[in-house]
Structure 1
């Protein structure tokens, strides 16, 4: 299983009135982690979009365990939890700079045609991606 890692420095704008990272910002960081994982596999999501295929989020599950504050650096670990040729479930763990688990999450995505939102089989349209996902998944 491939686990991609990406460091992010927490910006002041990402914090709330309590001085901790606002909960929705973790979703943005998860996207950064997904993008890094796709790059580590040798692909580009932007290239898929140029072909008229997008990958909307179907579901997000997230558990907040430890707050993160401005000035800290977090590390996002991202992997393919499940993949069946149409649907992908990505797993995430976000760690503090001390190595403490801050967030555990999954996001579920499906590839669809941009104009119709009808699901497509990745295996048929992007066989290289399909093969890479099969090899990299948990």
Structure 2
């Protein structure tokens, strides 16, 4: 199966929501730690879009703790802003995963056309970051390692070969080179 790493980043997945008052600080802007929580929402929804619930992965004994997080702040999000979190895989192997994120403020016409009936943005199969909707607020990345229930590093292709093959197949199907 080669190196197991995409030759190029996978397609962007998204989730959208309004900023809640409780996510803001005294200055009226989103408190910086909330972006990490939003990254997690992006990862969870991305995996769900591939056909896997994080809970199912964990029930199977496959854990994915964050080993590195990087955020670059461009502009603040504020209470009641409509936010899209765009997420894509930048690396996938039997040992590790890495994600890239863009948090963007969307409004007006973008908001009206961004969501499906559940309010989640509907995106083309694959597009470049220059095509993402909205004003870039925060960009970032996270790295993760596959662990078992005993918090020991594992090779997913050996510990859970069916899961590894299913994830690899889903990534190939969406157009990512694995």
The two structures have a TM-score, normalised by structure 2, of 0.72
Higher-RCO chain (CA-CA 8 Å, sequence separation at least 6): 2
- 1:136 maps to 176
Listed one character per residue, the Cα deviations across residues 4-50 of structure 1 (whole Å, up to 9, x for unaligned) are 01102100000001000000000000000001100111111101111
Structure 2: 5+ residue runs without aligned partners?
1-9, 108-133
Structure 1: 5+ residue runs without aligned partners?
none
Listed one character per residue, the Cα deviations across residues 68-96 of structure 1 (whole Å, up to 9, x for unaligned) are 10011110100001112210001100101
Q: Which of residues 123, 129, 132 is equivalent to 2:157? A: 123
Q: Which of residues 83, 86, 96 is equivalent to 1:77? A: 86
- Structure with higher Rg: it is 2
- 2:144 maps to 109
**Counterpart secondary structure, 1:62:** strand
1:1-138 → structure 2 map (5 Å cutoff): 1-98=10-107, 99-115=134-150, 117-124=151-158, 125=160, 126=163, 127-133=165-171, 136=176
Q: Name the CA distance, whole Å, in 2 between partners of 1:76 and 1:29.
A: 7
**Counterpart secondary structure, 1:70:** coil
Quote the offset at 1:137 in angstroms.
Answer: 6.1
More strand by share: 1
The two structures have a TM-score, normalised by structure 1, of 0.92
Report how many residues are paired. Answer: 137
